[in-house]
Structure 1
Amino acid sequence: MRSRLRRALELLDWLDEHGIALGELAQPELEMWLEEGAVERREVRAIVTWARGRGLVGELVVPRARIAAPSVFIMDEEQAEQLHRCLSDDALPLDVRTAGALTLLFGLQHTKLLELTVHDVIDDNAMVALNLAGHRLPLPPEVARLVRALRDPCQARWQLDQTASTTPWLFPGQEPARPLGATYLNLKLRRYGIAPRPGRNNARLALATDLPASVLANFTGTSISNATRWTGYARRDWLDYIASRTQI
């Protein structure tokens, strides 16, 4: 609330400097003020809506901030090498291998991964899938093997002592009642040479070239608006993306 009030005061100061009364503020001037400052100025939307409802200003609209297109990628060869390590390098921790493979293949966000429990692993012996918000994500055999290996000890520990945690997390933290932290998982992947954000971007862009937005949203557990943006990115010239691929 304080931040919104500060933005309102900033706008009023700007109007005073330019000799514009609040009731005379027009859309072009409002957008100019927004573009001149930081993205936090968009928080003035609540005040503008309030003033418009009371007839203090005209039909002003605060445009939502434009979401920047992803710009951090890695070369396909490097992504393939990282995925190969996740699938075959027994020296890597199992949670790193599993999270890395799911990120590099399906572009899953860490927050989605860390919400998974052992009950979200659908295993009928013939096929293994993950339950992502009610939608099944079938897993290739090598990834299924990793998920099973991660699930089994978590399930066994939970069955032995269900009082320690009411939720059998697939990626448990040091405390049984909590999953791993997203920041910790991100740092752990990077420590072992897995690039989470560039790898996730690569995976989503590749999927978006073949899948409609609705299927992509279900497949990756992301929102339909986010999936729609990715399908839009995929329709652009691939050369623009290849030229911008840099690893963090």
Structure 2
Amino acid sequence: MREHPDACFQCEQRRPLIGVTGAGNGICGPCAGVDLTYACQRCGTSEEIFREQMCTRCFATKRLAEALGGEDATIPAHREDFHSALSAAGRPRRVAYWLTCDRVPALLKYIGASKEEFTHRHLDDLPNTPTTRYIRDVLVAAAVLQPRDDRLEALPRWADAFLAQAPLPHRKYLTPFAHWFLLHRIRRTHRHRPLRASTQHQMRSRLRRALELLDWLDRHGIPLGKLTQPELETWLEEGPEKRREVRIFITWARGRGLAGALEVPRAPVAAPSVFSTDEGQAEQLHRCLSDETMPLDVRTAGALTLLFGLQHTRLLELTLHDIIDNDTDVTLNLNGHRLPLPPEVAQLVRALRDQCQKRWQLDQTASTTPWLFPGQEPARFLGATYLYLKLRRHGIAPLASRNTARLALATDLPASVLADFTGTSISNATRWTGYAKRDWLDYIASRTQI
């Protein structure tokens, strides 16, 4: 089936059709053997005609002007930057599609007529789709909108929607817990660094566990202030391990006199149990370095994971600026620490850098950051879950490979160096050196004498 009903049934291109076959399918001039050249009636280019005898960019520019300027399509002076940014977008087809979405024409008409400053709130009222996110990124890159952390800004809206479904008596506890404690602490902690998906998930999980406990108390007729330690432990033991995440809610409630002297033990950190054999690790690394049928980003991410045990979240935050190449050696900048790369891995990183550089040149209208592992949306890097699944699809075991590489490094490096080397926390690095059964007191003593 053709993607568009008005496309030529032979070449499936959206061109002016000059004839219709007996089956009702249209055919374009070139496929019919007619030597005709079709050009955009607005700019004269011979690009693919989108609609109304215009190319995609001209169609989007015209529709934007009509929506913002009213009947005479005269762009208001205070909206010229808005119009210019979307007209120059590197992917005009997305802009053209966005113009056809529900509520967008009415929004543009309001924006054109209003004297108010255009803000993120106007886009927040639209469905959170990839196209809407692309439009937002274009406007941020053009300085029409101020940069913001979308994950962080999405949390209050999610919390409000979640709390709206909770019973009214529970909201008197959950609303201040969510907005005045959890969100306040997250904003303070991530004032100068973007919120990671894991932190976003953790906040949502903690709020869900708090509601689960309140629902259980309601069913058993127990007020929160009368909850005893044995009753709390009963609830914890009846459910999965993740119920221990209610600990922060109990601590918050106890500190405000809403609950008694209750304690929730911390969940124990499980020791790593999934590893690769030396032969398996070597075989996977060989494939990453030599198998050209594998995608370049899979080969590069796989090699860095197999050799250095880097976390995927750290890998995905790398930009083209983090690659230091002096034409002889290549090093990666990890939190200010330089990681030298072996020649074959350096070759992979160079190739991926060049590939992403070309792509970023086309996407600069929507992105101010040249990611080394870009996602489908130019301003955002590849999702960690997507990369994990992509590696597994090509025979790379991400978790086992990372654990094996990190354990090998922990046998030769102290915790402080391992933390800097891999971009992990010092507490996590300390656990790994403990797993490796090494004593680094002599190393610490030697460092104090330097």
1:31-75 deviations in whole A, cap 9, x for unaligned?
A: 5653453223324322354235528523x4322111111111111
Amino acid at match of 2:213: R
Contact kept, 8 Å, 1:123 with 1:129, in 2: the verdict is yes
Residue 257 of structure 2 corresponds to: 54
Q: 1:43 to 1:78 in 2, by over 3 A?
A: closer
**Per-residue deviation, 1:14:** 7.4
Q: 1:12 to 1:146 in 2, by over 3 A?
A: same
Does residue 97 (structure 1) correspond to residue 286 (structure 2)? The answer is no
1:168-199 deviations in whole A, cap 9, x for unaligned?
A: 11112233222222222222211211111111
Does residue 118 (structure 1) correspond to residue 320 (structure 2)? The answer is yes
Residue 239 of structure 1 corresponds to: none
Residue 3 of structure 1 corresponds to: 209
Tell me the secondary structure at the aligned position of residue 136 of structure 1: strand
**Per-residue deviation, 1:2:** 5.1
Unpaired segments ≥5 residues, structure 2 = 1-206, 439-450
Does residue 213 (structure 1) correspond to residue 415 (structure 2)? The answer is yes
Q: Distance in 2 between matches of 1:161 and 1:41?
A: 43
Alignment of 1:1-248 (within 5 A): 1=207, 3-8=209-214, 10=216, 22=226, 25=228, 34-45=236-247, 46-51=249-254, 53-54=256-257, 57-58=260-261, 60-159=262-361, 162-235=364-437
Tell me the secondary structure at the aligned position of residue 375 of structure 2: coil
Contact kept, 8 Å, 1:12 with 1:22, in 2: the verdict is no
Contact kept, 8 Å, 2:363 with 2:378, in 1: the verdict is no
Tell me the secondary structure at the aligned position of residue 137 of structure 1: strand
> Percent of aligned pairs with the same residue?
72
Q: 1:30 to 1:174 in 2, by over 3 A?
A: closer
Tell me the secondary structure at the aligned position of residue 427 of structure 2: helix
1:130-165 deviations in whole A, cap 9, x for unaligned?
A: 111222111111111110111012223434652242
Amino acid at match of 1:51: R
Amino acid at match of 2:253: W
Report the number of matched residues: 229
Unpaired segments ≥5 residues, structure 1 = 237-248
Contact kept, 8 Å, 1:7 with 1:43, in 2: the verdict is no
Amino acid at match of 2:422: T
Contact kept, 8 Å, 2:209 with 2:243, in 1: the verdict is no
Contact kept, 8 Å, 1:15 with 1:22, in 2: the verdict is no
Contact kept, 8 Å, 2:334 with 2:420, in 1: the verdict is yes
Amino acid at match of 1:135: H
Q: Distance in 2 between matches of 1:81 and 1:167?
A: 34
Contact kept, 8 Å, 2:250 with 2:259, in 1: the verdict is no
TM-score (norm 2): 0.46
Give the stretch that moved more between structures: 150-159 or 96-105.
150-159
Q: Distance in 2 between matches of 1:48 and 1:13?
A: 22
Contact kept, 8 Å, 1:11 with 1:33, in 2: the verdict is no
Amino acid at match of 1:206: A
Tell me the secondary structure at the aligned position of residue 74 of structure 1: coil
Residue 243 of structure 1 corresponds to: none
Q: Distance in 2 between matches of 1:10 and 1:193?
A: 44
**Per-residue deviation, 1:208:** 0.9
